[in-house]
Amino acid sequence: MQYKTQLDARMEKPNVLVVDTVDRHILDALESYGAAVDYSPGISRDAILEIIGRYQVIVGRTRMPIDRGIIDAGEKLRIICRAGVGIENIDAEAAEARGIRIINVPGAATESVVELTVHLIIAGLRSTHSCIEDVKAGKFVKSLGSELAGKTVGIVGFGRIGTKVSQVLKAFDAEVIVTDLKDYREKAGKMGVEFTDHRTLYSRSDIVCLHVNMEVNKVPVIGMAEVGMMKDGVILINTARGAATEMKAICEGLDSGKIGFYGADVMWNEPPKEEAELRMLSMRNVAVTPHIGANTKEAQERIAKSLAKDLVVALGEIEGA
């Protein structure tokens, strides 16, 4: 769909290709700037490859990886814009080699992801997800759950989201222990949570929450070895990225009962398609939401406003260069 082509008359302004659904604020900001925006949220990779040579800017979200192929074909590309938090689906190396700037919005979805994480933890403790399904199906059966108060929760990745989740969980009277690749002992101490190493965290936690960023991890953070270190029946929550856990380790952990519950907002394939992940999804002790961590009105508005501002500044800079 052609969103606005006022650039037909002013060819000096940048052409922008938007390949995912984005908030109106971004489109309005681009329009006010005078850019020519082609808004094509469902466009295929092949179609992008055919036309990307005409654009200075590409804007996307999670759906479409901006890989080396797209970057190489984008001869005029100057800016890659991710209307979201992580940039792991952008080939940053290829972009950097060409001097292409990457713009994203770290932090804009923190509150939304924190709240969803707590929801998944409670689902794991109280089986609310399956109770609701049962009642709908006419089965008014009570399950016996557990309280969050007094449980030890291990937070892997003590960045923006991990920190806020820790604060919220302390209000539930949970014991919070954290780990990170960076030395956050001082921050942890100030918050009254314990900073520890990965192994200790896995062995002590009743609940493990993953809040790592995957740009710095070449392999899944949770594989067979890590699952093996965890308590029997552990509740494992992943609202970070599908690739943060190893599919085989999670499926085998669920099959053996080592993992008592897997709650996630992210999958290895989105939507899930492999036999193992589809089978896992049918289990009662698995609850997965369709990557809606950042999908609140508030987060989307924050993302859009922040991105619109940064994008207009960057457009001015590339025009002036």
Ligand X SMILES: NC(=O)c1ccc[n+]([C@@H]2O[C@H](COP(=O)([O-])OP(=O)(O)OC[C@H]3O[C@@H](n4cnc5c(N)ncnc54)[C@H](O)[C@@H]3O)[C@@H](O)[C@H]2O)c1
Residue 301: enclosing H or E segment and its boundaries?
helix 297-320
Q: Which of 16, 80, 130, 158 touches ligand X by CB under 6 A?
A: 158
Residue 23, interface with ligand X (CB under 6 A)?
Answer: no
Q: Does 14 bind ligand X (CB under 6 A)?
A: no
Using the rule CB under 6 A, which residue among 29, 266, 280, 307 binds ligand X? 266
61 belongs to the binding site for ligand X (CB under 6 A): no
- Residues serving a catalytic function are 241, 270, 291
Stretch that binds ligand X, among 33-41, 136-144, 200-208, 236-244 (CB under 6 A): 236-244
Among 139, 182, 248, 309, binds ligand X (CB under 6 A): 182
Q: d(Cα 221, Cα 208) in Å, to the nearest integer?
A: 12
Spatial neighbors of 66 by CB under 8 A, at least 6 apart, are 58, 60, 80, 82, 89, 90, 91, 95
Spatial separation of the C-alpha atoms in residues 31 and 36, rounded to whole Å: 7
Here's the x/- map for ligand X, 194-223, by CB under 6 A: it reads as -----------------xxxx-xx---x--
We find the least distance from the C-beta atom of residue 235 to ligand X, in angstroms, to be 17
Q: How far apart are CA 35 and CA 4, in angstroms?
A: 8
The CB-of-45 to ligand X minimum distance in angstroms stands at: 22
Is residue 85 near ligand X by the rule CB under 6 A?
yes
Q: Side-chain half-sphere of 184: how many Cα atoms within 13 Å?
A: 23
Which residues touch 37 (CB under 8 Å, ≥6 apart)?
A: 3, 4, 16, 18, 27, 30, 31
Among the listed ranges 69-77, 121-129, 155-163, 168-176, the one in contact with ligand X (CB under 6 A) is 155-163
Alpha carbon of residue 246 to chain centroid? 16
If the CB atoms of residues 188 and 311 are measured against ligand X, the closer one turns out to be 188
Compare residues 162 and 272 and give the one whose CB is closer to ligand X: 162
Beta strands in 15-136 (DSSP E): 15-18, 36-39, 57-60, 79-82, 101-103
- Minimal CB distance residue for ligand X: 159
- Pick the binder of ligand X from 78, 129, 241, 258 (CB under 6 A): 241
Question: Is residue 162 close enough to count as binding ligand X by CB under 6 A?
Answer: yes
Q: How far is the C-alpha of 167 from the C-alpha of 172, rounded, in Å?
A: 9
Which residues in this chain contact ligand X in the complex, by CB under 6 A? 85-86, 106-107, 109, 113, 156-162, 179-182, 211-214, 216-217, 221, 239-241, 265-266, 291, 293-294
